[in-house]
Amino acid sequence: MLTQRQMLRPQARSYSCRRPVKCFASASVTTVARPTQTASEAPIEVDVEALNKRLEARAKAMIQLEEQEVATRTKVKFILKQRVGLGESWKMVGKCPELGSMVPEVAPYMQWNNGDVWTYEAKIRPGTFTYKAVLRKPDGQYLWEDGKDRTLEVPVDAPAMEVDIANVRFP
């Protein structure tokens, strides 16, 4: 620690880092900041190859688990008979991951077939879900079907089922 006399005579000491500080007395005081090494300057060694191998192994395990689950799911075919304008398309939006979790941007497109029949097939996990037909306009906007959400009950042991969507109305 510096004495008061040493503080009044800063030129007597040599420091690498000086900052003048104003005092109410007519003397100036120089404070010294000791340079410190930050944690970000310390070298960090990461075994990227080992991390990638671990990530790859996890991804493969997740894929195998998903494939086992999908094999036991019910194949559901949605059928919608509705004419749309040029550039418009239908999407099935529902409260299950296979139908986009009620997010139309993520939901799957239905495929157009002759006679203005739109279809979508997916293996859906058992349970009760709500869903709606959503029309995607050419400008990218979505027009939701009017009325209450439709309900889909997917049984546990059914190999396949068809869902006819009728009376689609818009606000």
pLDDT digits (tens, 9 = 90+) for 13-67: 444 455 555 555 555 666 666 666 665 666 778 888 888 788 888 877 777 777 6
Q: What is the DSSP letter of 109?
A: B
Q: How many CB atoms lie within 10 A of CB 150?
A: 15
pLDDT tens digits for range 102-114: 999 999 999 999 9
Q: Where are the domains of the chain?
A: 74-165
Alpha-carbon distance of 10 to 31, in angstroms, equals 9
Looking at the whole model, is its pTM more than 0.85?
no
CATH topology for 74-165 is: Immunoglobulin-like (2.60.40)
Residue 101's SS3 state is coil
**CB burial of residue 86 (10 Å; 0-12, 13-18, 19+):** exposed
Count CB atoms within 10 A of the CB of residue 99: 25
> Does residue 152 surpass a pLDDT of 70?
yes
